[in-house]
Amino acid sequence: MRLGVSLPLSGHTVGATEAARAVEERGLESLWVGEHSHLPVATVHSYTKGRYGGGKTAREGRVPEMYRRFLDPFVVLGSAAAVTQKVRIGTAACIAGERSVLHLAKEVATLDIQSGGRVELGVGFGWNDLEALNNGIDPRRRRDVLMEKVQALKLLWSEETAAFSGQFVRFSESWSQPKPAQKPHPPILLGAGPSIPTFSHVVEWADSWMPVKAMVGGDMTGCLARLRRVAESHGRDPSSIGVTVIDPEASFRGKGDPAVFRRTLPSGSDTQAWADLGIDRVVIRCPADDRDVLLRALDAVSDLMSLRAEFSP
């Protein structure tokens, strides 16, 4: 099982190049960043009312400060790729439905070439209705939009020339260069909560499922069993579907306290159980506002990796 980290980088945190070097120096497998194109002022963030907010509505339900400050993920990952050699780089998650598919195809392919084939494209449906509307997307159709755009991406990456005529994506016969270094394309991971529709999407067009640990709750075994049943019903080998679990809990609890962060990391029994279930990667979110806190958090994650034979680069 592989071990990576996700970092909420912004103009107010440790820089991307310094963070990426620190991740690679510690032998961690991958570095992941998220995406939001902008933050509508009227947004209400449902997460603040649940587990992450301690059951209370934070700031009258408004989005945490960091959501105003997301950097462009592909610029950040390009910076990270330029100063590393081995660490894989990915989005967790790119809201691909809100992006131009022609531009996204070129961005991902370019980054994959420049990084030597280290890119993984985690995509999500998006939760912010106002953000979707401002990007011209009907929130009620976000699943259909994402599915169609992924289909178009695959054509643009794999065919010499491609044309597409769908409900949400249309372009005439075109050359789309460059092609990704990875063939037929970089791995595509779907970041979404557990449900039969989500599992169907994963089986039909993704390489991996990428859930947030808290959204799965204590039913990881049941969720993976349902995913595998859906795969079998669609005629796909369940073993061909990867599972990357995003775990932000230590970052939320230990944002400014490395000792709390370390105590909140998954235990040895947790990692053993996940490995036994067939989970092939765990991504731990680390706080990045303060350099010393970030480096100590990365040390803690690295120590976790060194204790577990299941983790591998």
- How much is the pLDDT for 187? 98
Rounded mean pLDDT, 150-177? 98
pLDDT digits (tens, 9 = 90+) for 259-271: 999 999 988 788 8
Confidence of residue 63 (pLDDT cuts 50, 70, 90): confident
What band does 46 get if pLDDT is binned at 50, 70 and 90?
low
Residue 57 clears pLDDT 70, i.e. is over it: no
Q: How confident is the model at residue 67 (pLDDT cuts 50, 70, 90)?
A: confident
Q: Of 7-16, 27-36, 53-62, 230-239, which range is least confident? A: 53-62
Q: What pLDDT does residue 149 have? A: 98
pLDDT band at 55; cut points 50, 70, 90: very low
> 17 pLDDT exceeds 50?
yes
| Whole-model pTM over 0.75 | yes
Q: Three-state SS string across the chain, please? A: CEEEEECCCCCCCCCHHHHHHHHHHCCCCEEEECCCCCCCCCCCCHHHHCHHHCCCCHHHHCCCHHHHCCCCHHHHHHHHHHCCCCCEEEEEEECHHHCCHHHHHHHHHHHHHHCCCCEEEEEECCCCHHHHHHCCCCHHHHHHHHHHHHHHHHHHHHCCEEEEECCCCEEEEEECCCCCCCCCCCCEEEECCCCHHHHHHHHHHCCEECCEHHHHCCCHHHHHHHHHHHHHHCCCCHHHCEEEEEECHHHHHCCCCHHHHHHHCCCHHHHHHHHHHCCCEEEEECCCCCHHHHHHHHHHHHHHHHHCCCCCC
Q: Mean pLDDT across the chain, nearest whole number?
A: 92
Domains, in order of start, for the chain: 2-307 (3.20.20.30)
Q: What is the pLDDT of residue 148?
A: 98
Segment 232-238 mean pLDDT: 98
pLDDT tier, 308 (very low <50, low <70, confident <90, very high otherwise): low
